[in-house]
Amino acid sequence: MTTTLSKADLRTAALAKRDALSDEQRAAAAQAMAKRALPFEISPGAIVSGYSPIRNEIDPVPLMRHLAELGAELALPAVMARGKSLAFRAWSPDDRLMLGPLGIPEPSPAAAEVIPDIMLVPLAAFDRQGHRIGYGAGHYDFTLEHLRKAKAIVAIGVAFSVQEIKAVPAQPHDVALDYVLTEKKVFDFRS
């Protein structure tokens, strides 16, 4: 008899592996991911949303700086309310951030609201089918489903390689990723 672990158990195990990485390993991984950049060319002016790393997430800022040098416009998410789409506000690496309702740094409400072309998505765990486990609030699934009604958005999970798991027990409301970038590899799920 095989036991299937719940999303909560899988999340806990993956986060424990992520938390076990040293600061040096984290910094090196963020630089390696930035150096590889994206697995496709971005058009100048494409809007790339990242995130403010919390809870030992891989830091997307080195990658975002690299993409800005290639001509991308940058944005960060702002949490509006549970069950509502995230808002995305224009951001540059020199902008000061303020703490949002969940204590996550985000751009000022005065920053221009934009809809990203490419979303860098934080995650707790991922599998080789493009499924992810987030933190359980469903912000990214809801946002992708909502925003993709208006335009095509490429969703790219960013993670440390230790966050890969064998299989995510995906639900019908879970939105699959187009890619996952780690410090070691690019996973392409578009086929």
pLDDT-derived band of residue 102, with 50, 70 and 90 as boundaries? confident
What does the buried/exposed string (b/e) look like for 129-149 if buried means 16 or more CB atoms within 10 Å of the residue's CB?
A: ebbbbbeeebbbbbbbeebee
Which of 125, 121, 103, 109 minimizes the C-alpha distance to 54?
103
- The partner residues of 87 in beta bridges, in order of sequence, read 78
Which residue type occupies 41?
E
Note the pLDDT of residue 1. Answer: 46
CATH 3.20.20.140 fits 7-36+44-188, yes or no: no
Q: How far apart are alpha carbons 171 and 59 in whole angstroms?
A: 28
Contact 29, 183 (CB under 8 A): yes
pLDDT-derived band of residue 3, with 50, 70 and 90 as boundaries? low
The arithmetic mean of pLDDT across residues 156-181, rounded, is: 93
Delimit the domains of the chain by residue range: 7-36+44-188
Provide the token pair at 59.
Answer: 């830091």
- For residue range 12-65, what is the model confidence (pLDDT) as tens digits? 999 999 999 999 999 999 999 999 999 999 999 999 999 999 989 999 999 999
The arithmetic mean of pLDDT across residues 124-143, rounded, is: 90
Which residue type occupies 166?
K
pTM, full prediction: 0.93
In terms of phi and psi (left: phi > 0; alpha: psi -120 to 50; beta: otherwise), the region of 149 is: alpha
Contact 169, 133 (CB under 8 A): no
Specify the residue for token string 């494409």. Answer: 46
